[in-house]
Structure 1
Amino acid sequence: MRKAILIVLTCVFYLSTHAQVSYEEIPSERLNSVRKLKIKLPQGYDPESEIKYPVIVVFDADYLFEPVAGQVDFQTYFDDMPSSIVVGIMQGGEREYDSHYEALTGLPMDSGLRFHEFISNELLPYIDKKYNTSKFRVAVGHDIMGSFINSYLFQEKPLFQAYVSISPDFVGSLRNFVSKRLAVIEEDIFYYMATSEKDIPEIRENILSTNALINEVENQNITYYFDDFEGETHYTLVTGAIARSFDKIFEIYNPLREKELEEKVFNYEGTLDNYLIDRYKRIEKLFGITKEISEVELEKVAKVAEQREDYKSLNKLGKLANKLFPETMLGTYYIAHSAEMLGKIKKAKKLYESALVLNDATNIDKDYIAAKIEELTLALVVDVDDEELEDLEELEEEENEEN
């Protein structure tokens, strides 16, 4: 059943992607020609809005654009990656000229260098000027263009922040240069590379040796992922590699999942409000976009705070919730619950009572708060009765001693 649903969704995303694609032409002085582009904007894109979008540049868009655009639609639907602008470069018969390289280094030369400069000096400035783009750019290439995109790593400031190199046909000494360059880059870079069991033997051998070299790189600025797909060929690995690469590149953008809660949140040293705040600051820093903390994620982290009996974190999460959702009772509830767990019953009761004038939260309503107030009222009565009983027992003991 689940497989059938995924197939239907894939078809829907393919059809919607096809319907939303626009075709543009850009004149190039560097190439002395006009190049055709395929461009897909995010659903609901508003040129007057201040919302910024990452840009995904697809080389060999003649066959690679639809798989990339479809995957972007699929993952943004589930909020697994930010909405993005997908730009495909139609290369067609120009592919050989675009990828022309120097035999020794494997880096672009002559017509290849002109194409390289067309991307950096003409295409991306054109896209940035016309659309609401963020600073985060992804390059996607396959085969010889999977090798070509590595040339942008060698700029003083790399043009792309993420590289999806699918079964790259490394030429010359480029595979050695890539690992050496990744070792010294001072900016945050995501680098993904993939091959497959039935890949072209020579290409596969070069990729495996390159992977071994990159694995030796110790640079905290580099986030590296590698896949070796079983049973796939040089061409059939493409769709799986696109899905895996986007899942990895945008992993931190994903909603909080059980693995992160167990491995990172639960073991976090410090109050858990700081974990959430730092997480979203990193998203903004990496992708140049703002993503708001949701009520659902606050609730997940609050549960972790309870599990580790960290009521200081619960109190601070309540204060954070009050800033983010001042109209709802979520923040006041966490602060009250924290006081209750620390034995401050009177304070907790007053806080619960103050929450009744606020709007319901996702999973907390006025009925639940009213039940908490009733529970604490009874607890306070019991506490008073216990105190009176203790006083009476002390008086009786004193009288017995006198007699």
Structure 2
Amino acid sequence: MKKTILTLLVCVLYLPLSAQITYDEISSSELNTVRQLKIKLPKNYDPSSGIMYPLIIVFDGDYLFEPIVGQVHFQTYFDDMPSSIIVGVIQGSERRYDGYCDEVTGLPKESGLRFHNFVAQELIPYLDGKYNTSKFRVAVGHDLMGNFINSYLFKEDPLFNAYVCISPDLAGTVRDYLGKRLEFFKDDIFYYMATSDKDLPYIRDAVLSANSQISEVKNQYLTYYFDDFKGDTHYTLVNGAIAKSFDKIFQLYQPLREKELEEKVLSYEGTLDKYLVDRYDRIEDLFGIKKPITEEEFEKTVKVAEQRSDLESLEKIGKLAKKLNPESVLGNHYLALHAEKAEDIKKAIKLYEASLTLEETDLIVYDFIESKLEELRSTIELGELEKELEKEKRKIEKEEKKAEAKAKKEAKKNDDN
């Protein structure tokens, strides 16, 4: 039921996108023909902006392109993945020739090798030259083309960073040595594979065998995901596989969520400002996108610092927020909160007073700052009153002791007389 609702939602979101899909063609010397392309650019794409976008190449673009466009729109709507350039390769009656592989090696040969070279030597350079593509590339293929995209893994420098192999028709060397090949990468590789209990039996057997191999791979640079769907056929598993694979591949890009906060942030060895910086540096390194740390993520990290009673992290998060957004009230707010918890109330007041000259945020507004100032000033006044009362109390106690000593002295004098 849940999967059905999600599928319907993706379809609803996709409806207005069909008008935004454009068609292009590329003349290929490798194929000695012209190939048709379907292209979906990000919303508000501006070639002069300098913003770079991951490139998603959809093999079997005749029928896989539209579901992927809908899924990408769905996930970017919730900021679960970056806006991307999606290119579907229309293969039509050429598909069998495009995916033609040697039965022994499982790697492209003859017409398949020409198509392999077309993608690597003509299509990708053409797209990189025409659009603002980042260095992160995703390949998606189903069945025959699910096997074909693995051929790029067997090159010294893989063409793609992420591979979505949906019910791939694995063959030969690819089937038998895929796990071994994935052991040797020294750069990040994402690999996703899926089958189902109602998949074509010969495909399912080969996929399960490959999964057993890959599951044993010990490589810190490999991120591997596998799904074995229940009740889906060779074709109906496609939508679920697309959704699951994109969610996993772009997991790092997603906003900080409870699971990451509990499993990684809370137990992080070091100050939490470094966790944030390292996380977003990795997003930039991997996807070629500079994503800003949101106010909500700062807020969640601060709450973890408070949970850890980690005043050092709280102060450093404040300094980081101030550095990244010097015109915003956010950094001052966290620094004031740190001063308050360190019982330096006068410093906290000064920081909040300075905040009134900075820009409000969605969570930290001037009314809140004024209420904090009123609270802290009351604390100062109450503290000063308590000090005065304590001073007066000590004065009275001193006078009482003095009077008591004098009385004892007088009593002793009378006894002596």
Instruction: Place the TM-score, normalised by the shorter chain, in its bin.
Output: over 0.9
- 2:221 corresponds to which residue? 221
Asked if 2 retains the 8 angstrom alpha-carbon contact of 1:179 and 1:210, the reply is yes
Asked if 2 retains the 8 angstrom alpha-carbon contact of 1:80 and 1:255, the reply is yes
Runs of 4+ in 1 over 6 A off after TM superposition: 1-5
Please give the secondary structure, in 2, of the residue aligned with 1:184.
Answer: coil
- 2:317 corresponds to which residue? 317
Q: In 1, distance between residues paired with 2:361 and 2:102?
A: 62
- 2:147 corresponds to which residue? 147
Say whether residues 1:290 and 2:290 are aligned partners: yes
User: Counterpart amino acid of 1:72?
Assistant: V
Asked if 1 retains the 8 angstrom alpha-carbon contact of 2:11 and 2:70, the reply is no
Q: In 2, distance between residues paired with 1:169 and 1:394?
A: 89
Instruction: Flag the 1:113–1:216 CA change in 2: closer, same or farther, 3 A.
Output: same
User: Counterpart amino acid of 1:331?
Assistant: G
Say whether residues 1:177 and 2:177 are aligned partners: yes
- 2:414 corresponds to which residue? none
Q: In 1, distance between residues paired with 2:6 and 2:155?
A: 40
Report the more deviating stretch, 260-269 or 113-122. Answer: 260-269
Please give the secondary structure, in 1, of the residue aligned with 2:207.
Answer: helix
**1:331 Cα shift?**
1.1
Listed as ranges, the gaps of 5+ residues in structure 2 are: 407-417
- 1:44 corresponds to which residue? 44
Report the more deviating stretch, 240-249 or 307-316. Answer: 307-316
Residue correspondences, number: 403
**1:29 Cα shift?**
0.9
Q: In 2, distance between residues paired with 1:398 and 1:143?
A: 93
User: Counterpart amino acid of 1:213?
Assistant: Q
Q: In 1, distance between residues paired with 2:7 and 2:163?
A: 28
**1:187 Cα shift?**
1.0
Say whether residues 1:388 and 2:388 are aligned partners: yes
**1:150 Cα shift?**
0.3
User: Counterpart amino acid of 1:127?
Assistant: L
Q: Note the alpha carbon deviations across 1:304-362, whole angstroms, 9 max, x for none.
A: 21222212212111112212322222111110111101111111111112112222221
1:237-386 paired onto structure 2 within 5 Å: 237-386=237-386
- 1:30 corresponds to which residue? 30
Instruction: Flag the 1:8–1:191 CA change in 2: closer, same or farther, 3 A.
Output: closer
Q: Note the alpha carbon deviations across 1:90-116, whole angstroms, 9 max, x for none.
A: 111111111111111111111111111
Asked if 2 retains the 8 angstrom alpha-carbon contact of 1:28 and 1:35, the reply is yes
Please give the secondary structure, in 2, of the residue aligned with 1:186.
Answer: coil
**1:364 Cα shift?**
1.6
Please give the secondary structure, in 2, of the residue aligned with 1:252.
Answer: coil
Q: In 1, distance between residues paired with 2:376 and 2:18?
A: 59
Report the more deviating stretch, 351-360 or 74-83. Answer: 351-360
- 2:137 corresponds to which residue? 137
Q: In 1, distance between residues paired with 2:376 and 2:96?
A: 76
Report the more deviating stretch, 304-313 or 244-253. Answer: 304-313
Please give the secondary structure, in 1, of the residue aligned with 2:172.
Answer: coil
Q: In 2, distance between residues paired with 1:395 and 1:256?
A: 56
- 2:121 corresponds to which residue? 121
1:38-117 paired onto structure 2 within 5 Å: 38-117=38-117
Asked if 2 retains the 8 angstrom alpha-carbon contact of 1:17 and 1:66, the reply is no
Listed as ranges, the gaps of 5+ residues in structure 1 are: none
User: Counterpart amino acid of 1:160?
Assistant: F
Please give the secondary structure, in 2, of the residue aligned with 1:64.
Answer: helix
Instruction: Flag the 1:250–1:336 CA change in 2: closer, same or farther, 3 A.
Output: same
Report the more deviating stretch, 378-387 or 175-184. Answer: 378-387
Report the more deviating stretch, 388-397 or 369-378. Answer: 388-397
Please give the secondary structure, in 2, of the residue aligned with 1:223.
Answer: strand
User: Counterpart amino acid of 2:37?
Assistant: L
User: Counterpart amino acid of 2:250?
Assistant: F
**1:46 Cα shift?**
1.0
Instruction: Flag the 1:77–1:208 CA change in 2: closer, same or farther, 3 A.
Output: same
Q: In 1, distance between residues paired with 2:119 and 2:3?
A: 39
- 1:206 corresponds to which residue? 206
Structure 2 length as normaliser, TM-score? 0.93
Q: Note the alpha carbon deviations across 1:351-376, whole angstroms, 9 max, x for none.
A: 11211222222112222212211222
Q: In 2, distance between residues paired with 1:55 and 1:198?
A: 32
Q: In 2, distance between residues paired with 1:177 and 1:285?
A: 29
Q: In 1, distance between residues paired with 2:168 and 2:3?
A: 31
Asked if 2 retains the 8 angstrom alpha-carbon contact of 1:199 and 1:233, the reply is yes
Report the more deviating stretch, 302-311 or 279-288. Answer: 302-311
Please give the secondary structure, in 2, of the residue aligned with 1:160.
Answer: coil
Q: Over alpha carbons, which structure has the higher Rg?
A: 2
Q: In 1, distance between residues paired with 2:278 and 2:174?
A: 37
Asked if 1 retains the 8 angstrom alpha-carbon contact of 2:7 and 2:239, the reply is no
Q: In 2, distance between residues paired with 1:48 and 1:389?
A: 69
Q: In 1, distance between residues paired with 2:190 and 2:217?
A: 13
Please give the secondary structure, in 2, of the residue aligned with 1:104.
Answer: coil
Q: Note the alpha carbon deviations across 1:258-281, whole angstroms, 9 max, x for none.
A: 111111111111111111111110
**1:8 Cα shift?**
6.6
Q: In 1, distance between residues paired with 2:145 and 2:84?
A: 21
Q: In 2, distance between residues paired with 1:233 and 1:384?
A: 76
Structure 1 length as normaliser, TM-score? 0.96
**1:10 Cα shift?**
2.8
Please give the secondary structure, in 1, of the residue aligned with 2:291.
Answer: coil
Asked if 2 retains the 8 angstrom alpha-carbon contact of 1:136 and 1:286, the reply is yes
